[in-house]
């Protein structure tokens, strides 16, 4: 905190209002506007463009510099040297684990990878062609029915086991939502496999053959999970915090986060990027789509481009682009047409004044779909993959809030409706 202050002079008021200013470790100072209520005023910031909703120590983003730090460690270093479960430990506990701590953490995750057998029948309530994100919203929320009574969110141990259950069960439920859609039997987790190997085993394995997961694909899958792990107070994380602020069950809070992530402006963009690249179909049509993206009368946007915070390259997109080249090369895919279209689209967009002026760069979703498609993940599962990776971020923020002092989130509004008026009886309308 600091002893700096902002002084607000308000037309028609003699007294200026002094508001405290706080400084963080990195990033902009914040003005504490809590005192405005006693002045009979609110702040007004639709979309929370200039609003810090909380204090946090988990992730820092510098949108101008294209910097992303998880507990101080740059994302590109974690992507190169770490793995998903180690990054989960870092996000949850604030430090990289020792070898013994990592072994214990991974071992505990393995103890929670199965879901209650009753959940299997829950899937039968869905149509086979249900979108996997619709299924995930339902089945993750349903987990609260299995743990509601045994979960005291004020108890640190209860919060910790909820974190393990969610991190461990999300891949199992995600794979089940895929298997259900293709009418294949659910695969049980194999705890001899790594987190990403286990997910691919449950996705593409079958009970008639031994599991055979490519280490190349498993490494690519693990890096995808890692790159999606957390991203400060984005829409879905803010949703989880708001839901959690009422004291709701953490499984219900994560289900709320999944619902928020589904939107095409957020996590749903990775699915929309693939659909867009497939609709473009050939590099010769790129100019047509770039023109549409610039046309204010056309609702079309270049999916995978732009970001509320990054006004420079999204560092995850850079890692993802390199990974796309690596994975395709390792798989012997030398001329993936969609990757060619994506790279050409990026070149054209980044040299176009409209995108330069509005600082629209590729974001995390622009290249991820290329890798997911190469791994064999169907497009409809792309946002589910995002949700699996982001679960640890949602839980880390939920736990940071619940373990500290917090109040129920309750924003106010600028009311522009009718002033009070009397009821009009039906016969007089
Ligand atoms: C994620 O917040 C996070 O951290 C999210 C995320 C995470 O890890 O949690 O990073 C994950 O959600 C990434 C974003 C994925 N979404 C997309 O790729 C969808 C396409 N992008 C956009 O819809 C948009 O860029 C947003 C939603 C990402 C950001 O929206 P903002 O911050 O509200 O910006 P805006 O809509 O006000 O756009 C500013 C201007 C507008 O033009 P003007 O009204 O000023 O003339 O830029 C234009 C927009 O029309 N614009 C685009 C564009 N994105 C913004 N024009 C064409 N194509 C685009 N993609």
Instruction: Report how far apart, in Å, the C-alpha atoms of 185 and of each of 181, 298, 384 are.
Output: 10, 44, 19
266 is catalytic: yes
> 145-149, 267-271, 396-400 — which is least confidently predicted?
145-149
112 is catalytic: no
Average pLDDT over residues 334-344: 89
* pLDDT tens-digit readout, 283-295: 999 999 999 999 9
* pLDDT tens-digit readout, 306-316: 999 999 889 99
- pLDDT for the residue 326: 86
Cβ(151)–Cβ(250) under 8 Å?
yes
What percent of the chain is predicted at pLDDT more than 70?
A: 99
Q: Does position 69 have pLDDT exceeding 90, yes or no? A: yes
Task: Give the pLDDT band of residue 358 (cuts 50, 70, 90).
Answer: very high
Backbone torsions φ then ψ of 279, nearest 5 degrees: -70, -35
Which structure tokens are listed for 215? 């280490």
> 49-63, 78-92, 208-222 — which is least confidently predicted?
208-222
* pLDDT tens-digit readout, 14-41: 999 999 999 999 999 999 999 999 889 9
- pLDDT for the residue 333: 87
- pLDDT for the residue 336: 85
> Which residues lie with the beta carbon below 6 Å from any ligand 1 atom?
47, 231, 234, 265-267, 269, 293, 301-309, 358, 360, 363-365
Average pLDDT over residues 388-415: 97
* pLDDT tens-digit readout, 347-357: 998 899 999 99
365 is catalytic: yes
- pLDDT for the residue 149: 66
Question: Smallest Cα–Cα separation from 249: which of 171, 167, 159, 160?
Answer: 159
Which atom of ligand 1 is the closest one to the Cα of 293? Answer: 57
Q: What pTM does this model have?
A: 0.95
Element (H, E) at 181: helix 156-182
CA of 257 to the centre of ligand 1 (A): 19
Task: Report the C-alpha gap between 314 and 66 in whole angstroms.
Answer: 6
> 183-197, 246-260, 261-275, 326-340 — which is least confidently predicted?
326-340
Backbone torsions φ then ψ of 86, nearest 5 degrees: -65, -40
Which residue out of 46, 307, 366 has the highest number of ligand 1 atoms within 8 Å of its CB and is therefore the one to mutate?
307
Q: Does position 230 have pLDDT exceeding 70, yes or no? A: yes
Q: Is 337 helix (H, G, I), strand (E, B) or coil?
A: helix
CA of 174 to the centre of ligand 1 (A): 27
* pLDDT tens-digit readout, 165-194: 999 999 999 999 999 999 999 999 999 999
- pLDDT for the residue 2: 67
Cβ(304)–Cβ(352) under 8 Å?
no
Of all protein residues, the one whose alpha carbon is nearest to atom 5 of ligand 1 is 234
- pLDDT for the residue 315: 95
């Amino acid at each position: 905190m600091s002893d700096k202050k902002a002084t607000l002079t308000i037309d028609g008021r003699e007294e200026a209002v002094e508001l405290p200013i706080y400084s963080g470790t990195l990033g902009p100072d914040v003005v504490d506007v809590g005192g405005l209520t006693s002045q009979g005023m609110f702040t007004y910031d639709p979309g929370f463009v200039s609003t810090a909703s909380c204090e946090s120590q988990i992730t820092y983003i510098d949108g101008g510099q294209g910097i992303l730090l998880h507990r101080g460690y740059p994302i590109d270093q974690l992507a190169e040297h770490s793995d998903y479960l180690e990054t989960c430990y870092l996000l949850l506990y604030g430090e990289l684990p020792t070898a013994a701590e990592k072994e214990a953490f991974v071992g505990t995750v393995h103890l929670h990878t199965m879901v209650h057998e009753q959940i299997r029948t829950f899937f039968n309530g869905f149509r086979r062609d249900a979108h996997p994100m619709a299924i995930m919203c339902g089945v993750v929320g349903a987990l609260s029915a299995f743990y509601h009574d045994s979960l005291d969110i004020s108890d640190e141990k209860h919060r910790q086991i909820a974190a393990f259950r969610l991190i461990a069960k999300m891949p199992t439920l995600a794979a089940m939502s895929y298997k259900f859609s293709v009418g294949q039997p659910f695969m049980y987790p194999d705890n001899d496999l790594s987190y990403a190997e286990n997910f691919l085993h449950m996705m593409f394995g079958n009970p008639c053959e031994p599991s055979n997961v490519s280490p190349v694909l498993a490494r690519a899958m693990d890096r995808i999970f890692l790159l999606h792990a957390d991203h400060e107070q984005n829409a879905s994380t803010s949703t989880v915090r708001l839901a959690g602020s009422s004291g709701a069950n953490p499984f219900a809070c994560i289900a709320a986060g999944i619902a928020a992530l589904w939107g095409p402006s957020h996590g749903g963009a990775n699915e929309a990027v693939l659909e867009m690249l497939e609709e473009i179909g050939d590099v010769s049509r790129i100019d047509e789509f770039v023109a549409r993206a610039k046309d204010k009368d056309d609702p079309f946007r270049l999916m995978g481009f732009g970001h509320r915070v990054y006004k420079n390259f999204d560092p995850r997109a850079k890692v993802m682009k390199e990974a796309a080249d690596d994975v395709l090369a390792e798989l012997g895919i030398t001329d993936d047409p969609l990757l060619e279209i994506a790279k050409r689209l990026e070149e054209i967009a980044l040299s176009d004044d409209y995108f330069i002026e509005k600082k629209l760069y590729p974001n995390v979703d622009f290249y991820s779909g290329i890798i997911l498609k190469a791994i064999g993940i169907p497009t409809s599962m792309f946002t589910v993959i995002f949700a699996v990776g982001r679960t640890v971020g949602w839980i880390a923020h939920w736990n940071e809030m619940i373990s500290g002092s917090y109040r129920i989130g309750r924003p106010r509004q600028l009311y522009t409706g009718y002033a009070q008026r009397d009821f009009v009886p039906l016969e007089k309308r």
